[in-house]
Amino acid sequence: MISSMTGYGRGSSSQDGFTFIAELRSVNHRYADFALRLPRELYSLEDRIRRQLQKAIKRGRVEVSLALDEMPAGLRQVKVNYDLAEDYYRTLEQLSSRLELSEKVQLKHLLQMPELFKPGGITLSEEQVWPIVSAALQEALDQLLNQRRLEGENLCRDLLERCAHMEEMVDTASNCAEEAKEDCRKRTAQKFEELLAGKFEETRLLMECAMLVERMGVDEELVRLKSHIEAFRANLTGSEPAGRKLDFIAQEMFREVNTIGSKAGDYRLTNIVVELKAELEKIREQIQNLE
Mean pLDDT, rounded, for 263-290: 87
Q: Alpha-carbon distance 209 to 242, whole Å?
A: 45
Q: Alpha-carbon distance 155 to 138, whole Å?
A: 25
Domain 7-74+126-149, CATH 3.30.70 — does that match? no
| CATH 3.30.230 intervals, the chain | 7-74+126-149
Q: Alpha-carbon distance 153 to 165, whole Å?
A: 19
Q: What is the DSSP string of 230-244?
A: HHHHHHHTSSS--HH
pLDDT tens string 86-98: 888 889 888 888 8
- The answer to which of 11-15, 63-67, 173-177 has the lowest mean pLDDT is 173-177
HEC profile for 148-207?
HHHHHHHHHHHHHHHHHHHHHHHHHHHHHHHHHHHHHHHHHHHHHHHHHCCCCCHHHHHH
Q: Which residues of 80-105 are buried (b: 16+ CB within 10 A; e: fewer)?
A: eeeebbeebeeebeeeeeeeeeeeeb
The sign of the CA dihedral 93, 97, 99, 102 is positive
64: which residues sit within 8 A by CB, 6+ positions away? 22, 23, 24, 34, 35, 36, 37, 38, 49, 53, 137
- pLDDT bracket for residue 50 (50, 70, 90): very high
Q: Alpha-carbon distance 229 to 239, whole Å?
A: 18
Q: Alpha-carbon distance 133 to 48, whole Å?
A: 10
pLDDT tens string 133-157: 999 999 999 999 999 999 999 999 9
Residue 123 has pLDDT above 70, yes or no: no
Give the global pTM. 0.68
